[in-house]
Amino acid sequence: MSAHAIDRGDLNAAPAGRDKRPGLARLTKVELRKMVDTRSGFWLQLAVLGLTVLAVVITVLAGHSEDKTFRHVFSNALQPAGILLPVVGILLVSSEWSQRTALISFALVPERPRLIVAKVLAGIVLALAATVVALVVAALGTALASTSAPHAWSLPLGLLAQDIIYVATAMVIGIGFGAALQASAPAIVLYFALPVALAALGSIHALKGVIEWVSTAEALEPLTTTVMSGSEWVKALVALALWMGVPLVIGLWRLTRRDVG
């Protein structure tokens, strides 16, 4: 029996870049695909689209004349995305274990923090897409409403930027909760329950001043309603640092130490 000799030239003839690690753009595309590959992710995004249209229809048909401006209709159209898209972000991370894809993902991309970065970027891309859809649906609704309200089509650029930040940061918070808990049910429950608990604590007079800085309901509410002042931005940044930064740091720490075998 003779062994087949491996020619070094054969090795050098391998296609260029075949063994390179996938780039961040490619990983982001993969994570975007994962958002619609599962039934839960697909139906959640379909629900966001349906509720966006429904919110615009209700505003146009049942709202007062002053509520049928583009600014107000667009604000209402964004609410379904701000509420439901973070659940898609949670499932994007937690499904790695519930769908048993973590072993494949981490075998192909050993640098686990790069996967989290790709998931965050994919979440931001989806949030931007949802904002564009809400913008188009709101414009159609405002046109059909034919309102005579003054400045019916007025939408300050500062407020539009805040709307984008509102949806994008909500998505990143969801991804952070999914990364920190790595299980769908507790992450979803805590994502919705913690703001309610903080709002309840805010009813206590002694805690109201603190809650205004850490509650997303208090600090981030002006994002979709009015162009924020400097003090409002400070509160919003503190709340975002807490709700985005802490879960993502915990998630990265757990992710780099968890055995996926």
Q: First vs last Cα of the chain: how many Å apart?
A: 38
Domain ranges, ordered by start, for the chain: 22-257
Buried/exposed code over 195-210 (b: 16+ C-beta within 10 A; e: otherwise): beebeeebeeeeeeee
CB-CB contact of 135 with 168 (8 Å): no
**By C-alpha distance, which of 231, 206, 205, 180 is closest to 194?**
180
Q: What is the pLDDT of residue 152?
A: 76
pLDDT score, position 206: 81
pLDDT tens digits in sequence order for the chain, 261 residues long: 444 444 444 445 445 555 567 788 888 998 898 888 888 888 999 999 999 999 999 988 887 777 788 888 999 999 999 999 999 999 998 888 766 666 677 777 778 888 889 999 999 999 999 999 999 999 999 888 877 667 778 888 999 999 999 999 999 999 999 999 988 999 999 999 998 898 888 888 888 888 888 888 888 888 888 889 888 999 999 999 999 999 999 998 988 887 765
**Residue 17 backbone zone (phi > 0: left; psi -120 to 50: alpha; other: beta):** left
Contact indicator for 113, 104 with CB cutoff of 8 Å: no
pLDDT value at position 210?
Answer: 86
Q: Say how far apart CA 169 and CA 237 lie, in whole Å.
A: 11
Would you say the C-alpha torsion 102, 106, 108, 111 has a positive or negative sign? positive
Residue 171 gets the label, from left (phi > 0), alpha (psi -120 to 50) or beta, of: alpha
46 Cβ contact partners less than 8 Å away, ≥ 6 residues apart:
none
What's the Rg (C-alpha) of the chain? Answer: 22
Q: Which two tokens stand for residue 176?
A: 């952070």
The Cα diameter of the chain in Å comes to: 91
Q: Could you tell me the two tokens for 210?
A: 């603190």
